[in-house]
Amino acid sequence: MGADYVVTLAPAPIEARWMAEHPELFQPAFGDANHDNVAWRVLPVAADGRGAR
What is the mean pLDDT of each successive set of 10 residues along the chain, which is 53 residues long? 87 91 94 91 72 50
Q: Give the pLDDT score at 45.
A: 74
CB 25 within 8 A of CB 52: yes
Predicted TM-score of the model (pTM): 0.74
Q: Give the pLDDT score at 50.
A: 56
Write the secondary structure of 1-53 as one string of H (helix), E (strand) and C (coil). Answer: CCCCEEEECCCCCHHHHHHHCCCCCEEEEEECCCCCCEEEEECHHHHCCCCCC
CB 19 within 8 A of CB 26: yes
> For residue 29, which of 40, 15, 44 has the smallest C-alpha distance?
40
